[in-house]
Amino acid sequence: MKSESPITASNSHEGTPLLDLRGMVKSYPGCLANDQVDLTLMPGQIHALLGENGAGKSTLVKMIYGVLRADQGDIEWQGAPVTINNPSVARGLGIAMVFQHFSLFESLTVSENIALGLGDSSGVNTDSLDEDIVTISARYGLPLDPERYVYTLSVGERQRIEIVRCLLQNPKLLIMDEPTSVLTPQEVDTLFKTLRQLSSEGVAILYISHKLDEIKALCHHATILRGGRVVGIANPATESASSLASMMIGQDVTPHRLPESAGFGPVSLACQSLTLPAADSFSVKLDDINLSVRAGEILGIAGVAGNGQDELINALSGEILLSSADMVQFKGQPVGRLMPGSRRQIGLCVVPEERLGHAAVPGMSLAENAFLTGAQRLSLSRVGFIRHRASRQFASRVIDAFQVQCRGSAAAADSLSGGNLQKFVVGREIMQKPEVLVVAQPTWGVDAGAAAAIHDALLGLAADGAAVIIVSQDLDELLGVCHSIMAICAGKTSDVFPAKHITMEEIGLLMGGAALDGLQATDGVVNGQESARKFGPEAPL
């Protein structure tokens, strides 16, 4: 331990470390995920594990939790060497983990889900378990109804199940993998209160994140990983965000500057009272959504996952046809009942969130995947026959323009890394020169380099006169590249606000469904133009 944390008195560095990792190594074929990683954790310490996507954070904690086995390295727990070869051993030691992707069972109740995570000892006496759940959740401010089925719960509530499940085991160490990526800023505050309370009770917390502000606000200590190695140990309270960032990324970072817009064109895409009933109890209904985006404008839609984003994207792409064509208007023309191919044909392209299986067919080549959405706009077929060579050429152009690392247009989509596939599927739409591009989570799980390339491409597209909608839960991304921002919550959208006048906290309120007083919505503000809410034919600029 290099530095004393000034933040907390409970964080004693005397005595035996709770957890001591020495020389952890884990390799996958063609990739060294962890290379001689050391880490020491004291009781009651909130310890950040900071790093980019792919830095090896998840691999390290999975080894601590017994999900993965280390190739080399020693683990000491309270001073004694231990071998953790499966999660139940970890749980037995007092290690609990909240995964980034929840391990929940949708068709089971909250208490059944919790019972499943408690190991064999708990039996099936759910009555006493229910009482424990209520007690714990009240004590840490995490309200939960044990009888509810998981599929009826919001993402935030689901995370509470995971946390309560961990707390019921009286853990000595709680591992949290990117816990805030699915929460609104307000929910994050609540979570931090719970974590600080736990820390004061002596529970150590290993907190994985790449969000610098959070780590500065919460953590006593930070270990920074890059490319599978420890590249720094720091006290987050005394470091600046940019020094942490440069350690994490390995170079100085310059914050993204949104180019001043020269002004927007007419409305390219508008939703007018877009309403869509929920398909089943697993999906969200869209409730009277109104929005519009003009040529050259980038509109960001913020929201916590599961608030209707998928449904909105599907309604815009044409995967779900609406009851009235007027609900989606492309340059004043009703398109709400056009099939996806016809929408692409006229210039409305979409990049869905899920790369594999939705935006691209996993086992098919990039050329075939290029054909998948390029067929109409680039005339890649002739009288029902595929123009294979033209498809290959199109794929190659996307690969070149977006520097997609792959073996060429014959490579299967699932042989690419996440970032490269994302560059390909975004590039595939941008290279079709759409007039409107809707992108969901454009940089989710993508490394910084690829993210920057994608953002540049989106900005370039808008600069060339296209309207762009970005649906994202990454508020830094939205504030960095969007001109206007709105939020979606429970299938309803908020007002639209100019990005330069709104703060992250305010977006957080919108994501939680609150209305903002005192901040003027975009109507009549940006550019002094007419209200963005008006529909119908626009006068040309």
Partner 1 sequence: MIRLIKRPEPSRVMVYLAPVIALVLTLLAGLLLFFLLGVPVGEALYAFFVEPISTRYGLAELGVKAAPLILIGAALSLGFRAQVWNIGAEGQLVAGAITGGAVALWFYEVEAWYVLPLMMLAGIAGGMAWASIPALLKTRFNASEILTSLMLTYIAGLLLSLLVHGALRDPDGFNFPESRLFHAAATLPIVLDGTRLHIGFPIAIMFVATLWILLSRTVLGFELQVMGAAPRAGRFAGFRESSVIWFCLLLGGGAAGLAGLFEVAGPIGQLIPVVSPGYGFTAIIVAFLGRLHPVGVLFAGLVMALSYLGGESAQITMNLPKAVTGVFQGLLLFFLLATDVLILYRFGWGRRSLAATHT
Partner 2 sequence: MSETVILTLLTIITAATPLVFAAIGELITEKSGVLNLGVEGMMLVGAVSSFIVVSVTGVDVLGVLAGVLAGMLLSLVFSVLCLTLQASQVATGLALTLFGIGLSALAGQSMIGVAYEGLPKLSIPILSELPVVGQLLFSHDILVYVSFALVAAVAWFLYRTRAGLVLRAVGDSHDAAHALGYNVVAIRYLATVFGGACSGLAGAYLSMSYSPMWVENMTAGRGWIALALVVFASWRPWRLLFGAYLFGSISILQLHGQAIGLDVPSQLMSMLPYIATILVLVLISRDRGKIRRNAPACIGKAFHPTT
Q: What is the C-alpha to C-alpha distance for residues 33 and 189, in angstroms, rounded to an integer?
A: 32
Does position 417 bind partner 1 by CB under 8 A?
yes
Indicate which single residue of 14, 252, 280, 517 sits in contact with partner 2 (rule: CB under 8 A): 280
228 binds, among partner 1, partner 2, none (CB under 5 to 8 A by kind): none
Q: Which lies closer to partner 1 via its Cβ, residue 103 or residue 381?
A: 381
Span of 61-69, 207-215, 241-249, 359-367 interacting with partner 2 by CB under 8 A: 61-69
88 binds, among partner 2, partner 1, none (CB under 5 to 8 A by kind): partner 2
Span of 276-284, 330-338, 433-441, 477-485 interacting with partner 2 by CB under 8 A: 276-284
Q: Measured from the CB of residue 44, what is the shortest distance to partner 2 in angstroms? A: 27
Q: What is the C-alpha to C-alpha distance for residues 471 and 232, in angstroms, rounded to an integer?
A: 34
Size of the site for partner 2 (CB under 8 A): 30
Does position 107 bind partner 2 by CB under 8 A?
yes
Does position 103 bind partner 2 by CB under 8 A?
yes
Query: Among candidates 176, 253, 203, which has minimal Cα distance to 476?
Result: 253
Indicate which single residue of 35, 74, 76, 319 sits in contact with partner 1 (rule: CB under 8 A): 319
**CB under 8 Å, gap of 24 or more: what pairs does 461-466 form?**
461/430, 461/434, 461/437, 462/296, 462/297, 462/298, 463/259, 463/296, 464/433, 465/265, 465/295, 465/296, 465/435, 466/268, 466/295, 466/296, 466/433, 466/434, 466/435, 466/436, 466/437
Q: What is the C-alpha to C-alpha distance for residues 149 and 113, in angstroms, rounded to an integer?
A: 9
Phi and psi, residue 489, nearest 5°: -145, 125
Residue 423 CA neighbour count, 13 Å, CB half = 24
Q: Which residue has the tokens 């089971």?
A: 108
Does position 112 bind partner 2 by CB under 8 A?
yes
Indicate which single residue of 44, 51, 87, 491 sits in contact with partner 2 (rule: CB under 8 A): 87
Does position 350 bind partner 1 by CB under 8 A?
yes
Q: Pattern of binders to partner 2 over 314-343, x per CB under 8 A?
A: ------------------------------
Q: With contact defined as beta carbons under 8 Å apart, do 355 and 418 qualify?
A: yes
Q: Which lies closer to partner 1 via its Cβ, residue 146 or residue 352?
A: 352
Q: Which lies closer to partner 2 via its Cβ, residue 48 or residue 129?
A: 129
Does position 506 bind partner 1 by CB under 8 A?
no
Residue 303 is which amino acid?
Answer: G
Q: Which residue has the tokens 């000034």?
A: 6
Q: What is the C-alpha to C-alpha distance for residues 286 and 490, in angstroms, rounded to an integer?
A: 8
DSSP label at residue 539: P
Q: Measured from the CB of residue 30, what is the shortest distance to partner 1 in angstroms? A: 8
417 binds, among partner 2, partner 1, none (CB under 5 to 8 A by kind): partner 1
122 binds, among partner 2, partner 1, none (CB under 5 to 8 A by kind): partner 2
Indicate which single residue of 375, 406, 475, 488 sits in contact with partner 1 (rule: CB under 8 A): 375
Q: What is the C-alpha to C-alpha distance for residues 92 and 84, in angstroms, rounded to an integer?
A: 10
Q: What is the C-alpha to C-alpha distance for residues 80 and 103, in angstroms, rounded to an integer?
A: 30
Token representation of residue 485: 């921002």
Does position 325 bind partner 1 by CB under 8 A?
no
Q: Which lies closer to partner 2 via its Cβ, residue 115 or residue 507?
A: 115
Does position 363 bind partner 1 by CB under 8 A?
yes
Span of 46-54, 237-245, 273-281, 484-492 interacting with partner 2 by CB under 8 A: 273-281
Span of 128-136, 344-352, 432-440, 525-533 interacting with partner 1 by CB under 8 A: 344-352
Does position 89 bind partner 1 by CB under 8 A?
no
Token representation of residue 76: 């000491």
Does position 339 bind partner 1 by CB under 8 A?
yes
Does position 179 bind partner 2 by CB under 8 A?
no
536 binds, among partner 2, partner 1, none (CB under 5 to 8 A by kind): none
Does position 105 bind partner 2 by CB under 8 A?
yes
C-alpha torsion sign, points 171, 172, 176, 182: positive
251 binds, among partner 2, partner 1, none (CB under 5 to 8 A by kind): none
Q: Which residue has the tokens 């109104």?
A: 290
Does position 124 bind partner 2 by CB under 8 A?
yes
Q: Which lies closer to partner 1 via its Cβ, residue 266 or residue 374?
A: 374
Q: Measured from the CB of residue 445, what is the shortest distance to partner 1 in angstroms? A: 12
H-type alpha helices, 234-281: 241-249
Q: What is the C-alpha to C-alpha distance for residues 176 and 283, in angstroms, rounded to an integer?
A: 27
- Helix, strand, coil distribution of the chain in percent, nearest 5: 35, 25, 40
Does position 66 bind partner 2 by CB under 8 A?
yes
Residue 418 is which amino acid?
Answer: G
Token representation of residue 236: 């987050």
Indicate which single residue of 18, 21, 33, 115 sits in contact with partner 2 (rule: CB under 8 A): 115
Query: Among candidates 181, 78, 130, 85, which has minimal Cα distance to 441?
Result: 181
CA-to-CA dists, residue 205 to 78, 126, 189, 214, 377, angstroms: 15, 28, 16, 14, 52
Could you say which residues in the range 13-42 bind partner 1, by CB under 8 A?
A: 28-31, 33
Which residues lie near partner 2 (CB under 8 A)?
62, 66-68, 86-88, 91, 99, 101-108, 112, 115-117, 120, 122-124, 151, 279-282
Which residues lie near partner 1 (CB under 8 A)?
28-31, 33, 317-319, 339-342, 344, 350, 352, 354, 356-364, 368, 371-373, 375-376, 381, 384-386, 388, 412, 415, 417
